């Protein structure tokens, strides 16, 4: 079995009216429930969008430094992640497509080492 991360950058979501976001709740929740039933879900969750609540830890200088805010100033940041464990890459592709359809925005997939 291989683990895959299915994730999106917050900026890929786009700007939509509140009603549109509400229309995505059931389809995206249904996919997660289907993953649970299929026994492939390891974890799924969205991330808090307020980057002021982020913090970083860096020990590369030889001393651990924990600071408020993101590690670097970037134009894109992670919006959510789903981890699945499946037998084949084809299964990972199918679940990624279902997540993208349920959410209504693109997803990227990478194998977890």
Structure confidence at residue 52 (pLDDT): 84
Q: Quick one: pLDDT band at residue 101, thresholds 50, 70, 90?
A: very high
Q: What 8-state DSSP symbol labels residue 12?
A: G
The answer to whether 111 and 7 are in contact (CB under 8 A) is: no
Structure confidence at residue 70 (pLDDT): 77
Domain 2-49+76-112 class in CATH: alpha beta
Domain ranges for the chain: 2-49+76-112
pLDDT above 80 for 94: yes
For the stretch 68-75, contacts whose Cβ atoms lie closer than 8 Å and that sit 24 or more positions apart, written own/partner, are 75/11
Q: Quick one: pLDDT band at residue 50, thresholds 50, 70, 90?
A: confident
Element housing 40 (H / E)? none
* Stated pTM of the model: 0.86
Structure confidence at residue 105 (pLDDT): 93
């Amino acid at each position: 079995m291989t683990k895959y991360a299915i994730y999106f950058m917050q900026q890929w979501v786009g700007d939509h009216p509140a009603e549109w976001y509400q229309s995505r709740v059931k389809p995206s929740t249904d996919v997660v429930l289907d993953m649970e039933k299929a026994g492939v879900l390891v974890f799924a969750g969205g991330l808090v969008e307020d980057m002021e609540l982020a913090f970083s830890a860096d020990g590369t200088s030889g001393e651990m430094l924990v600071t408020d805010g993101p590690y670097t100033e970037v134009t894109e940041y992670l919006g959510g992640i789903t981890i699945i464990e499946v037998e084949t890459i084809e299964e990972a592709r199918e679940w990624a497509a279902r997540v993208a359809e349920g959410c209504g925005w693109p997803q990227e997939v990478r194998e977890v080492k």
